[in-house]
Structure 1
Amino acid sequence: MGDVVLITGASEGIGRATAFTFARGGYRLALAARTAETLKQTAIELEQSLNAEVLAVPTDVTQPDQVQKLVEATLERYGRIDCLINNAGICLSGPFLQTTLEHWQALMAVNFWGYLHTIRAVLPDMLKRKRGQIVNVGSIGGKMPLPQMAAYCASKYAVSGLTEALRLELQPHGIQVIGVHPGLVNSNFLKRAIFLEEPGEDNLTHPSRARQRMQQALESFWVSQPEEVAAAIWEAVCHSKSEVVVGMAQWAVAAYTLFPGWVGPLLQSLPD
């Protein structure tokens, strides 16, 4: 019988592509997402096209009781969880002073606390078996700053810190913790992203400049596809890599790491 992977944010985008990639690799799947209809459709397509074994559990990762039920259902169905892929997330772009405390709390609830809830739920079984892999899908925004995205970067830097600290703590217990950091990905995340207007903008009659910038960026040559990120996750799991920066984002991260004094001002000079 194949290994078991639990994927959050699995109904669309990176999560969906990852589910298909791991199904092709012989894994049995437990899939979680908030929207039951799209999650069910993804599960049906996996079963029909790949004859995959799929458990689909609608789950809001910001709610620890729902996450616990997800993990319990997975363990009841399969008996173990070999790999957890934390992927659920939301994006927010806009000026710092336009970002309310409610925006910050909503972003951290999904992007950071959602990861923490799933890790805490799966870890006891992994520790008991002294085996397992935890993949945290982060972002280029967790490796370098991005303009107009303070809250998003803060949430992703938190994921990076959590990933690196847990890697040190859990490696002696046979558990690998992996960080995978995509850049901009051409998926349907725009429909869930939050774009805040500059003071004086009227977003009812015109799209915000932040949304327009993101839409333009999605047409650039350096944008990754969900399947590319899924392939990077698969390679990281198969080869037990500690960290992967996906696609062209690796060059931006490397440049910032080596030359922060040059890259920082360059980012500040980008047009609004």
Structure 2
Amino acid sequence: MADVVLITGASEGIGRATAFTFARGGYRLALAARTAETLKQTAIDLEQSLNAEVLAVPTDVTQPEQVQNLVERTLERYGRIDCLINNAGICMSGPFLQTTPEHWQALMAVNFWGYLHTIRAVLPDMLKRKKGQIINVGSIGGKMPLPQMSAYCASKYAVSGLTEALRLELQPQGIQVIGVHPGIVSSNFLKRAIFLDEVRPASSPDSQAQTSGGKAREQMQQALESFWVSQPEEVAEAIWDAARQSKSEVVVGMAQWAVGAYTLFPGWVGSLLQNVPR
């Protein structure tokens, strides 16, 4: 019987591409996302184009009871979960002093607690069977610091730490824990990203420095057009390869060069990042 994969953030971008990749590999799918309409369309597309078996459950991963419902419905439908792919996430950019505790709480609720809720929900069944994979989609921002992204990096460093600690704990019990870290990905995540320079009050001393669309958003858009940006399908293939080969960690595409350089020369790379125009 075909293996079962549960993917969060599955309706768009990396999550959608990953669903198609695993469907082509013969997996049965359980898909979760917050927006019911786009999730339903993804399920329809998978069923019609690949004849995939799909369970789509609208889920807000910040709500543990919704996550528990997702896992229970998946187990009722398929009997087991062989692979969990934690992918739901949001991005935030802006100077540290413009962030508020509420900003940090909202970001951590999705990027960290959302992962924690799903892991806690799927783990009892995996431990009972002494078999399973947990793949946490992190970020280059969880392997090296990025300017103007303190909250985002904190959330992704937390995911990296969780992934590495759980790997040590769960590997002897037959559970593989894998980290996959993309760099900038060309997807529609910009529409969900938070750019704090867009919400400064008009009386802000530096408000005149803003463009109509927000300087940070424009800079991110320019970065998305650069040659070293990954496509969602490239990240999906990296996730698939990590799952099939039981890799511990993968940094995707050109991001591996940036992470490698920072690991070897943190002071030099840090000084370059400090001088990035803002």
TM-score (norm 2): 0.96
- Matched with 2:108 is 108
Alpha-carbon offset, residue 202 of structure 1: 6.6
- State yes or no: 1:152 paired with 2:152: yes
Work out which of the residue numbers 268, 274, 277 in structure 2 matches 1:268. 274
Shift of 1:205: 6.8
Q: Which amino acid aligns with 1:82?
A: D
**1:201, CA displacement in angstroms?**
2.5
For residues 200-231 of structure 1, give each alpha carbon's deviation from its aligned partner in whole angstroms, at most 9, with x where no partner exists: 32799711111011000000000000000000
Report what 1:89 is aligned to. 89
After superposition, residues 9-20 of structure 1 pair within 5 angstroms as 9-20=9-20
Question: Do residues 259 (structure 1) and 255 (structure 2) align?
Answer: no
8 Å CA contact retained: 1:60, 1:67 = yes
Per the alignment, residue 23 of structure 2 pairs with: 23
- Which residue is 1:52 aligned to? 52
In 2, Cα distance between the equivalents of 1:216 and 1:90? 19
Deviation of 1:252 after TM superposition, in Å, equals 0.0
Amino acid at match of 1:215: Q
1:190 is paired with a residue whose SS is: helix
Structure 2 match to 1:250: 256
Partner Cα distance (1:58, 1:35) in 2: 7
Q: How does 1:52-71 map to 2 (within 5 A)?
A: 52-71=52-71
Equivalent in the alignment of 1:227: 233
Compared with structure 1, are the counterparts of its residues 128 and 101 closer, same or farther at alpha carbon in structure 2 (3 Å cutoff)? same
Q: Which segment drifts farther, 203-212 or 254-263?
A: 203-212
Change (3 A) 1:91 1:203: farther
1:166 is matched with 166
1:211 corresponds in structure 2 to: 217
1:120 aligns with 2:120: yes
Q: Which ranges in structure 2 are unaligned for 5 or more consecutive residues?
A: none
RMSD (Å), alpha carbons: 1.2
The answer for the alignment partner of 2:36 in structure 1 is: 36
The Cα shift of 1:51 comes to: 0.2
| Distance in 1 (alpha carbons) for counterparts of 2:154 and 2:88 | 16
Paired positions, count: 272
Deviations 1:15-74 (A, max 9, x none): 000000000000000000000000000000000000000000000000000000000000
TM-score (norm 1): 0.98
Amino acid at match of 1:107: L
Q: Do the aligned partners of 1:81 and 1:122 also contact (CA within 8 Å) in 2? A: yes
For 2:74, the equivalent position in structure 1 comes to: 74
Provide the rounded CA distance (Å) in 2 between the counterparts of 1:144 and 1:25: 32
Asked whether the 8 Å contact 1:201–1:208 carries over to 2, the reply is no
Query: Could you list the runs of 4 or more consecutive aligned residues of structure 1 that deviate by over 2 angstroms after TM superposition?
Result: 198-205
Tell me which amino acid in the other structure corresponds to 2:220.
M
Q: Name 1:184's counterpart in structure 2.
A: 184
Q: In 2, distance between residues paired with 1:115 and 1:222?
A: 27
Q: Aligned partners of 1:265 and 1:207: how far apart in 2? A: 28
Q: Secondary structure at the match of 2:155?
A: helix
Deviations for 1:167-202, whole angstroms, at most 9, x for unmatched residues? 000000000000000000000000000001175327
Partner secondary structure for residue 122 of structure 1: helix
Stretches of structure 1 that go unaligned for 5 or more consecutive residues are none
Cα distance in 1, alignment partners of residues 230 and 166 from structure 2: 27
